[in-house]
Amino acid sequence: MDGQASKPRLDGRGSRAGDQGLDAVSKDDEVNSPLFNNSLAKGLDMLAKFRNQRNGLSLVELAELTGMTKSSAQRCTFTLESLGYLTKDPKTRKYKLSPKVLEIGFNYIGNNMLVDFANPYLHNLNKETGETVNLAEPYGSNVIYVSRFQSMSHIVAYMSVGTVIPMHCSSSGRAIMSTYPREQQERILDASHLHAYTDKTVTDTDTILRAVESCRTTGIAYTIEEYFPDDLSLACAIIGANGQAIGAINLSVPSSRWTLDDALARFGPQIKQAAFAVSSLKTL
Amino acid sequence: MDGQASKPRLDGRGSRAGDQGLDAVSKDDEVNSPLFNNSLAKGLDMLAKFRNQRNGLSLVELAELTGMTKSSAQRCTFTLESLGYLTKDPKTRKYKLSPKVLEIGFNYIGNNMLVDFANPYLHNLNKETGETVNLAEPYGSNVIYVSRFQSMSHIVAYMSVGTVIPMHCSSSGRAIMSTYPREQQERILDASHLHAYTDKTVTDTDTILRAVESCRTTGIAYTIEEYFPDDLSLACAIIGANGQAIGAINLSVPSSRWTLDDALARFGPQIKQAAFAVSSLKTL
DNA sequence: CACAGAAGTATCGATTATCGATATTTAAAA
DNA sequence: TTTTAAATATCGATAATCGATACTTCTGTG
């Protein structure tokens, strides 16, 4: 008959922009399935809208951000506050996330075999080198940090587990990409915004692909001040059962104190050794 | 007319057990409000059910855990998977949390002024002492860790930001409680399970209250192997605008290597100094 | 290898819970 | 105080969620 999915869908959900280049595949069919629960999607979307909103969000702001009607937003905030995921400042009536959201997030880490298995190796690497060591997992066209052991002397950035960074400008991301087939590497870069976070960020696709390719032979990927200033980062992929990366270990030093060659010579073998050890966990 | 809220409510939501003694206040009226969105609550409840479920959960298991019908659970998993919060193992068809939940959870930390402000002081304390330092916030009758700087030499437990520990058996919790009026202290202990996590856990209400009281005078609360084995922990409250704690800083050392008195003498003043400095952030 | 049983998936009409509009109240700004 | 905007409460319509059930796929057992 009509055959067209031309339903107006003015209910706000559906665009889901700002997803940072994740889900490259269109999921429009899924949201139109009779199984898809819109109310749930709206509530989660609302929670996600609190990213970088230090001062909290008012009801109308939330309605605008999510594209809901004020009524819908009202029901959403009421429910989320009842459940303890949001708190409302009684004076300003602005909503903020409550610690309860952390608990949900933490369940991911608490259930994560890779984190469990890798932690002793990360700790050891941190102890031997005295430098900051991270464990990251692939997350769409980004990496997400799931474990972290900081250097005591110099800290380049106060960044928490859960932080998301694009693959293309992170050493871990490049190390992970290096285990993917070329076509997938290109798809990742296409889905990325290739934003220049610093004046050293490489945004040229070919240059990035060459860097990734070189990691294939050396085993170590690196970035120099491409995301955090004064940060020189080396990474090595953790290989899963299918031969592709399930994560990466990276080590960061201040670029003001280290040259790339010195850092590679000093830390490269140790990072590789740790990543190799963790790669033996083939439970994927 | 009938006036009775005697609706059967067999849809599963409503008990919300396992909430670890949080929300002591009954919220039954809220869930019966016409504003309350049950679908949203069910979906979040499902996400919460993944706590300590390393192997993932099948559809029927989720239906049982949440008390939903299989149909409801099916719609829920479908929606959560479409949105990227769950992944389904194509082989076992069990669902697991995906890293996306982390992102929601850690927006809380990213927006947290206290974490931002405290981090340099925590880092400094970690650097000067070489020991593990944490920042915790009150969370119902528990504390939740929101920032962490680990010792490089000895790590008592691989515990991540987001971890929740009962107030009654954590040094941070006792330090926080010490700033509350007696009545509230008792309410917290009543809401707690007073479970003995180790053979040293104090489960006697009066003993705990006395420990809390002594912190009021000394400024430092402590626990010795009451939650983690081989852990001696000292904590000092961070005071907010209203005079009550908005968090606590704690420092952990192996109890096998330190006596309480030595640790208090060595670290007590430094912890207090850090907590005092952070307390100057009176934005609550 | 075939069978049985259980879990996963798809479909469907009934009805209830969600919907947007709007009225009312409260707070902030002029 | 007056004005304006945001927050909260209310309500009938109806579309989206509901549970049941049929169907399919997987798993393990004899």
Q: Could you tell me how many residues make up chain B?
A: 284
d(CA A201, CA B230): 45
Domain boundary among B73, B103, B133: B103
Beta bridge partners of B245: B239
Q: Is residue A55 part of a domain?
A: yes
pLDDT range class, residue B27, cuts 50, 70, 90: low
**Any idea which residue has 């030093």 for tokens?**
A253
Neighbours of A84 (CB within 10 A): 20
What pLDDT sits at residue B241?
86
What pLDDT sits at residue A283?
60
Instruction: Look over chain B and give the mean of its residue pLDDT values, rounded to a whole number.
Output: 88
Q: Is residue B5 part of a domain?
A: no
Q: Which protein residue has its CA closest to C1' of D10?
A: B34
Cβ A235 vs Cβ A171: under 8 Å: yes
Cβ A50 vs Cβ A57: under 8 Å: yes
A-interface mutation test, from B102, B137, B242, most A Cβ less than 10 A away: B102
pLDDT > 70: what percent of chain A?
A: 89
What pLDDT sits at residue B156?
76
Question: Are B117 and B90 contained in the same domain?
Answer: no
What pLDDT sits at residue B80?
95
Asked if the Cβ–Cβ distance from B75 to A36 is below 8 Å, we say: yes
Q: pLDDT, tens digit, for every residue of A230-274?
A: 999 999 999 998 899 999 999 999 999 999 999 999 999 999 999
Distance separating the N- and C-terminal Cα atoms of chain B: 45
More confident call, B148 vs A156? B148
What pLDDT sits at residue A27?
56
CA B158 vs CA A93, A131, A265, B281: distances in Å: 38, 18, 29, 30
CATH assignment at residue A200: 3.30.450.40
Instruction: Look over chain A and give the mean of its residue pLDDT values, rounded to a whole number.
Output: 88
Q: What b/e string do you get for B20-33 counting C-beta neighbours within 10 Å, with b at 16 or more? A: bbbbeeeeeeebee
State the smallest CA–CA distance between residue B89 and chain A in angstroms.
Answer: 11
Calculate Rg over the CA atoms of chain B.
21
Minimal Cβ distance to B22: which of A40, A84, A150: A84
pLDDT range class, residue B30, cuts 50, 70, 90: confident
Cβ A256 vs Cβ A228: under 8 Å: no
Domain boundary among B59, B79, B103: B103
Asked if the Cβ–Cβ distance from A51 to B107 is below 8 Å, we say: yes
**Helix (H) / strand (E) containing B235:** strand B231-239
What pLDDT sits at residue A94?
94
pLDDT > 70: what percent of chain B?
A: 89
Beta bridge partners of A247: A238
Does the pLDDT value for residue A29 go beyond 60?
A: yes
Question: Are B215 and B263 contained in the same domain?
Answer: yes
Domain range for A127 is 112-279
What pLDDT sits at residue B242?
86
Highest mean pLDDT pick, B20-29, B33-42, B156-165, B180-189:
B180-189
Minimal Cβ distance to B101: which of A30, A108, A127: A108
Specify whether the backbone of B278 is left (phi greater than 0), alpha (psi in -120 to 50) or beta.
alpha
d(CA B211, CA B23): 25
A32 touches strand D (CB under 7 A): no
What pLDDT sits at residue B23?
41
Question: Are A85 and A209 contained in the same domain?
Answer: no
What pLDDT sits at residue B13?
29
Q: pLDDT, tens digit, for every residue of A244-253?
A: 999 999 999 9
Asked if the Cβ–Cβ distance from B108 to A127 is below 8 Å, we say: no
State the smallest CA–CA distance between residue A117 and chain B in angstroms.
Answer: 11
Please give the structure tokens belonging to residue B80. Answer: 């959560």
d(CA A125, CA A75): 49
Using CA coordinates, name the residue in chain A closest to B284: A89
Question: Are B181 and B248 contained in the same domain?
Answer: yes
Asked if the Cβ–Cβ distance from A108 to B98 is below 8 Å, we say: yes
Q: Is residue B273 part of a domain?
A: yes
What pLDDT sits at residue A21?
40
CA of A275 to C1' of D28 (A): 39
What pLDDT sits at residue A185?
98
Using CA coordinates, name the residue in chain A closest to B104: A48
Residue spans of alpha helices (H) in B151-279:
171-177, 182-191, 205-218, 260-279
Asked if the Cβ–Cβ distance from B109 to A102 is below 8 Å, we say: yes
Q: Is residue A126 part of a domain?
A: yes
Q: pLDDT, tens digit, for every residue of B133-160?
A: 999 999 999 999 999 999 998 877 889 9
pLDDT range class, residue B132, cuts 50, 70, 90: very high
Q: What is the DSSP letter of B168?
A: G
A92 touches strand C (CB under 7 A): yes
Does the pLDDT value for residue B121 go beyond 90?
A: yes
Neighbours of B275 (CB within 10 A): 26
Question: Are B95 and B116 contained in the same domain?
Answer: no
Q: Is residue A50 part of a domain?
A: yes
Q: Is residue B179 part of a domain?
A: yes
What pLDDT sits at residue A33?
80
CA of A93 to C1' of C25 (A): 15
Domain boundary among B103, B123, B140: B103
Mean pLDDT for B197-221 is 97
Does the pLDDT value for residue A28 go beyond 80?
A: no
Q: Is residue B284 part of a domain?
A: no
Neighbours of B34 (CB within 10 A): 7
What pLDDT sits at residue A105?
87
d(CA A159, CA B109): 10
Q: Is residue A45 part of a domain?
A: yes
**Helix (H) / strand (E) containing B116:** helix B113-129
Question: Are A274 and A200 contained in the same domain?
Answer: yes
What is the number of structural domains in chain A? 2
pLDDT range class, residue A131, cuts 50, 70, 90: very high
Does the pLDDT value for residue B191 go beyond 70?
A: yes
Which region among A76-85, A147-156, B29-38, B259-268 has the lowest average model confidence (pLDDT)? B29-38
CATH assignment at residue A10: 1.10.10.10
Question: Are A52 and A116 contained in the same domain?
Answer: no
Question: Are A79 and A159 contained in the same domain?
Answer: no
Asked if the Cβ–Cβ distance from A85 to B44 is below 8 Å, we say: yes
Question: Are A93 and A116 contained in the same domain?
Answer: no
What pLDDT sits at residue A155?
78
Nucleotide nearest to B68 in CA–C1' terms: D19
**Any idea which residue has 């997400």 for tokens?**
A144
Minimal Cβ distance to A78: which of B35, B51, B52: B35
Q: pLDDT, tens digit, for every residue of B238-258?
A: 999 889 999 999 999 999 999
Please give the structure tokens belonging to residue A80. Answer: 């989320």
Residues 6+ apart with CB under 8 A from B159: B145, B148, B228
Distance separating the N- and C-terminal Cα atoms of chain A: 46
Mean pLDDT for A163-178 is 97
Question: Are A123 and A261 contained in the same domain?
Answer: yes
Q: pLDDT, tens digit, for every residue of A41-82?
A: 999 999 999 999 999 999 999 999 999 999 999 999 999 999
Question: Are A91 and A159 contained in the same domain?
Answer: no
DSSP characters over chain A: ---------TTSTT--TTSTT---S--HHHHTSTT--HHHHHHHHHHHTTTT-TT-B-HHHHHHHHT--HHHHHHHHHHHHHHTSEEE-TTT--EEE-THHHHHHHHHHHT-HHHHHHHHHHHHHHHHH-SEEEEEEEETTEEEEEEEE--SS--S----TT-EEEGGGSHHHHHHHTTS-HHHHHHHHHHS----SSTT----HHHHHHHHHHHHHHS-EEEESSSSTTEEEEEEEEE-TTSSEEEEEEEEEETTT--HHHHHHHHHHHHHHHHHHHHT-TT-
Residue ranges with strand state E in B90-196: 95-97, 132-139, 142-149, 164-166
Mean pLDDT for A173-199 is 97
Using CA coordinates, name the residue in chain B closest to A149: B150
Question: Are A129 and A206 contained in the same domain?
Answer: yes
Cβ A176 vs Cβ A275: under 8 Å: no
Q: In what order do the strands lie in the sheet with A132-139?
A: A164-166, A142-149, A132-139, A245-254, A231-239, A221-224
